[in-house]
Structure 1
Amino acid sequence: MMATLSAYPSQVHADATALLVYQGQPNRTVNWNLVGSGSVTPLSNCTDETGKAGALYQPGTAGGTVKVEVTAGA
């Protein structure tokens, strides 16, 4: 199964929080890593029975590139 990471809204604005949804294997621990400005607040520390986990992304300084990495464990 391929894992995906989606943002809602898909175009993140500098003045708004975005919902991040990771879709992978069910019942796995999840670690969120942010490279760039802003903050990521996990809504759970593992995927649910459907394989989804969520986090909130709050933008930092305007401009630049931000990367969010998700690592799912056992």
Structure 2
Amino acid sequence: MTISLNRLAYSFGTDGTTSAVQVGLNGSEDSNSVSATLQITASDLATGKTLDDMTKSDFETLAKSKLATLTAVTTA
């Protein structure tokens, strides 16, 4: 299934810097579909990076990775 970026929404702090970015992803294949909104914060970034340093592509890659981690199925 191909997951695509469909939305970016920025939240700004009182100092004008980006405090969080909501990333919308969706995809479908046959009769299966996925739709997710993930919040990216500074804690999701590599050391030394800020949300203001990130590109659209960076957010898409990071959100897809976060989605994969959050939805990984484990056996009990």
TM-score range, shorter chain: 0.3 to 0.5
TM-score where L is the length of structure 2:
0.33
Between Structure 1 and Structure 2, whose CA radius of gyration is higher?
2
Higher share of residues assigned helix? 2
Q: Which has the higher contact order (CA 8 A, sep 6+)?
A: 1
